[in-house]
Homo-oligomer: A and B are copies of this chain.
Amino acid sequence: MDEPNAIKMPMSNEDCENFRIIELLFFAYRSFVTDADEVLSEYGFGRAHHRILHFTNRIPGLTVAELLDILKITKQSLSRVLKELIESGHIVQLRADNDGRKRLLYPTKKGRKLALKLSQMQSKRIETAFANIVSNDIPRQSHAVEAFLQNMIDRSDRDFLDQLLNEGVSVD
């Protein structure tokens, strides 16, 4: 009964200056996190495991409370995933000498190895993205950022998206 009232004009940069950056962030981040997924699934792990493993390796001896603060999730949510990482021998908990309530989290050798493997995969993508920023992107810093994000996106996505978002769709 309502007439559809469909708006057929695409949103333009006049509406919002940073559409391109907004979208690049979305796709770049997706490619970035997806790198690790395949390896993680071999262990029956997900992204939640990855985050915990990463920060435990990066800040060995951090407490559960600190980890919760970093990840901004609830202890119940952390608990389940952390338990699996402990059972699989990737992380250990040690009682703090100065305060017996605190449980300090440390990676094991196994945990360190996996964390490095995952980080190096992500690092490789980042390295390539930096390397492929061509020098005529320098004049404006925003261009370097834009180029970086663009380069972070999977090749398979990049062409498809560029076509869709830049050439656009006919507005009849």
Contact = CB atoms under 8 A, between A and B. Distances in A.
A137 interface: yes
B109 A5 contact: yes
Given A17-B123, A25-B29, A164-B66, A171 B7 contact: no
Interface of A: 2, 4-11, 15-19, 21-23, 25-26, 29-30, 32, 51, 54, 57-62, 66, 69-70, 72, 89, 92, 94, 106-109, 111-112, 115-116, 119-120, 122-123, 126-127, 130, 133, 137-138, 141-142, 144-145, 147-148, 160-161, 164-165, 168-172
Contact of A92 (B4, B62, B107): B4
Given A10-B57, A59-B168, A62-B169, 6 more contacts: A4-B108, A5-B92, A6-B108, A59-B164, A130-B141, A144-B145
